[in-house]
Amino acid sequence: MCTRYFSRRVQLKRSISLVSTLLFALALGFSAFAETQVGIVLPTKDEPRWIQDQTRFESSLKTAGFSAKVLFSQGDSSKEKQNVESLITEGIKVLIICPQDGNAAAAAADAAHKAGVKVISYDRLIRGTASVDYYVTFDSFQVGAAWGNYLVSKVPAGKKGNNLYIYTGAASDNNAFIFFEGAWSVLQPKIADGTFVVRNSDKAAALAKKAKLTRDDEAAIIGQTTTNWNFADAKNKAQSNLTAVKNTAKGTVYICAPNDGTARSIADAFRADKAVKTYYVTGQDAEIASIQYIIDGKQSMTVLKDTRTLVSDAIAAAVGFMKGQAPDKTTSYNNGAVDVAAKPTAIVTVTKENVKAAIVDSGYWAADKFTNLK
């Protein structure tokens, strides 16, 4: 009896210790699960484009099978670096980062690599470092080519001397160069043959005969035409360009604008000028406000870059890296230090003619976000 009682006590003790070991293991497992496995760093909350990405990330992350955290850098490279450092401390295995400034972000990518973290450049390429493992992107050259094609398509056959205004993105963003390269590939022959006359960049006009620009040539043109991706800068630049030209440079104008936010600002400035009778203006991002502008005839086109695809490609690449697999590669982009593997996603041109099919019927935005949609 006594022995049985003793052995029961031993059994009980053993069970208690088994349960506590299990609980400890569970706690360990839980803390391993609770730590952030993937860090996502986006440039700013001040542009609807990046809120789109955040929203799409947050809905896809529910089923991604890993823990993740999204942080914003608010247009500040040092905040971006702090974000990356705190994610490294949280134990991330993969960093998905859209750099505020492509060159400045190299230090953050290096810090991540040093900690054994895989680095995925998201939408914008980090430059000047070998610490980038993959680039998830749209076909940015085609974005610019779509602007050029749209503007050329609006020129009456054979008409020369059409007024062209060029605006570009921030020089700190590698994409600004790629978009411009794409636009130049279509516009340059039309500037060279006199179809277009560049009204707001003597540097672009001086390079009219040069089909393939160097990065320095592009930097010179971007230096004159940049919006810094900032709506107020875009509006001010458009207004001062309009003040600087004679009415003969107005009438019908063709405006190569680099994204939706700046396109709306530039369009507002041109629309306010009485000497501008008709304007055609490009954009990108399919922002809700710009889709409404297109419906209302205030913006001519946008480029849909389906952020759902970009987000799912980024998540697939992150999962692949965590399993030790290399993500899909169809091409590579040189970042000034190495060729970074990538699989660029196709883009879609959206105009008044296909806006319903491309934006609403595709499920990108719900119809109730717009008025007068036919």
Residues near ligand BGC, by CB under 6 A: 47, 49, 123-124, 169, 173, 175, 229, 259, 284-285
Tell me the two tokens of residue 362. 């595709």
Shortest spacing between CB 49 and ligand BGC, in angstroms: 4
**Alpha-helical regions (H) of the chain:** 2-34, 48-61, 77-89, 106-114, 140-153, 174-192, 202-206, 215-225, 231-244, 260-271, 288-295, 307-322, 355
Q: Check if the beta carbon of residue 230 is closer than 8 Å to that of residue 247.
A: no
Shortest spacing between CB 258 and ligand BGC, in angstroms: 7
Tell me the two tokens of residue 28. 């360990």
In the complex with ligand BGC, which residue's Cβ is closer, 221 or 249?
A: 221
Shortest spacing between CB 236 and ligand BGC, in angstroms: 17
In the complex with ligand BGC, which residue's Cβ is closer, 120 or 276?
A: 120
Shortest spacing between CB 314 and ligand BGC, in angstroms: 14
In the complex with ligand BGC, which residue's Cβ is closer, 133 or 285?
A: 285
The residue of the chain with the least Cβ separation from ligand BGC equals 259
Residue matched to tokens 């707001």: 200
Shortest spacing between CB 58 and ligand BGC, in angstroms: 19
Backbone angles phi, psi at 156, to 5 degrees: -60, 140
Torsion sign (Cα): 256, 260, 266, 271:
positive
The b/e string for 312-346 (b: 16+ C-beta within 10 A; e otherwise) is bbbbbbbbbbeeeeebeeeeebebeeeebbbbbbe
Q: Check if the beta carbon of residue 256 is closer than 8 Å to that of residue 147.
A: yes
Residue matched to tokens 């320095």: 216
In the complex with ligand BGC, which residue's Cβ is closer, 208 or 342?
A: 342
In the complex with ligand BGC, which residue's Cβ is closer, 49 or 56?
A: 49
In the complex with ligand BGC, which residue's Cβ is closer, 72 or 196?
A: 72
What pairs with residue 168 in β-bridges? 226
Shortest spacing between CB 87 and ligand BGC, in angstroms: 21
